[in-house]
Amino acid sequence: MDLPPPSFSFVIPSVYDGRKLECRIFLPPVYQNIQSTPTSQIHGAIFAHPYAPLGGCYDDPVVDFVSSELYHANFVVGTFNFRGAGDSEGRTSWTSKPELGDYVSFYGFMLQYLHCLKRALAPNDHSAAQPRESTDQDGGLEYPNAGPRAKKPDIHLILGGYSYGSLITSHVPVLDVILSLFESPEASISEIRNIATRIASSSVEQSTGPTDPDLRALTTSISYLLVSPLLPPISQLLTIFTTLSLKVASRTIPCPDPADQLSTHCTLALAGNLDSFVSAAKLERWSDELLHMPGSQFQFRMVDGADHFWRRNERARVLLRAWLSESFRSNQISPSD
C-alpha cells in the first residue's frame, strides 16, 4: 500500500524562533465528507524524520512506509521537515532544542486541526461543545485496550518518529503543557492556530467552516510510536550532552522523563537486531526497563535481519498493523478499502 500525494502542503512558523517549516497532511477519504463519516472519534498521527545533515527529511523511505500504514488504517497523518531539512528555513542545531520547538509547533497544529476537523464533521454534536477534561498526562483516559464501557476520547493522536525523529518525540512536553502553550496570544502560536483552522475548513465537503475551538473542550488521548530509537551515547551526541528543554519566547519549559511518558502511554517501539547505531543487547536492556515499570503500556518488537534503515520493511509493516489493530480495535473506523 502506497502513500498517496499529500492532501495539503503548507508552512507554519516554529514556536522556537519563527522559522518557517514545511508541513504536509494526508487525509483519509473517510474524514472528507460529513454525510459518510462516523464522527465519534478522530485518529491522527505525527511521524518525524531522521537527522537532516545525513539526508533526513519527510520524504525518507521509512517515514513513507510508516505513514502509509497509518494512513490506510484511517489515521490523519501529518509530517513536517525540521529546520535545515528540505525547504524548511534554518539549519540543524547542535543541541536539538530548536528541533524540539519545531516538533511542538506541529504538535500544536495537529491538535488544532483535529479539533477543528472533529467540529466540522459533527456540527450538530452539542456534547462536543461542552468543556471536559481533555488531558491524559498519566495515561488516565484508559483508551488503548479499554473495555466497552470505558469513555473513548474524541481525539486520539500518535506522536511518532524514526531515528532522530524518535529522540525528539520522546522528549515532547506532556499534553497539558502543550494545551496551555497554545492558549498563548504569542504571534507564532496564533498563526499556527489560524492555519490549522483554515485548512480544516477546506478538508471536509459540505462543511460550514469550523470556528476556532477550545482545545480543552474535547478529550484527547496520546500514544507513542518509535522506530529505530536512538540511545546513549548517540542520543547524547545529538544534544551535546545537555538536558533537552523547550524554549518559547521568554519561557523555558522542562521536558518530562521519556521513560515515564513511554511507559504510562500506549507505546510501540520497533527496532532491527542489526541496527548499526544501537546494539541489540542495549535495545533489549532499555526495553526491559520500560516493560517492568509499574503499569507499563510499553511494547517492544525486535525484527531479526532488519537494520537501522529498514531496507526490508515487510515484517515491520506487519507488526505495526498488528499493534494498531490490537491497541485500537474497538475504536478504529474500518479501512475504506
Domains of the chain: 8-328 (3.40.50.1820)
pLDDT beyond 90 at 206: no
> Of the ranges 59-63, 159-163, 252-256, 285-289, which one carries the lowest mean pLDDT score?
252-256
What DSSP assignment string belongs to 138-197?
A: TSTT--TT--TTSPPPSEEEEEEEETHHHHHHTTPPPHHHHHHHTTS--HHHHHHHHHHH
Distance from C-alpha of 302 to C-alpha of 279, rounded to nearest angstrom: 11
pLDDT in tens, 290-304: 999 999 999 999 999
51: pLDDT strictly greater than 70: yes
Q: Which residues contact 198 (CB under 8 A, 6 or more apart)?
A: none
Q: Which residue has cell 539549519? A: 91
Q: Which of 49-58, 136-145, 156-165, 260-269 has the lowest mean pLDDT?
A: 136-145
**Mean pLDDT along residues 259-270:** 98
Residue 207 confidence (pLDDT): 58
Which pLDDT tens digit goes with each residue over 120-154? Answer: 887 655 444 454 444 554 443 344 444 444 568 89
In eight-state DSSP terms, residue 335 is P
The pTM for the full model equals 0.90
Q: What is the pLDDT of residue 250?
A: 77
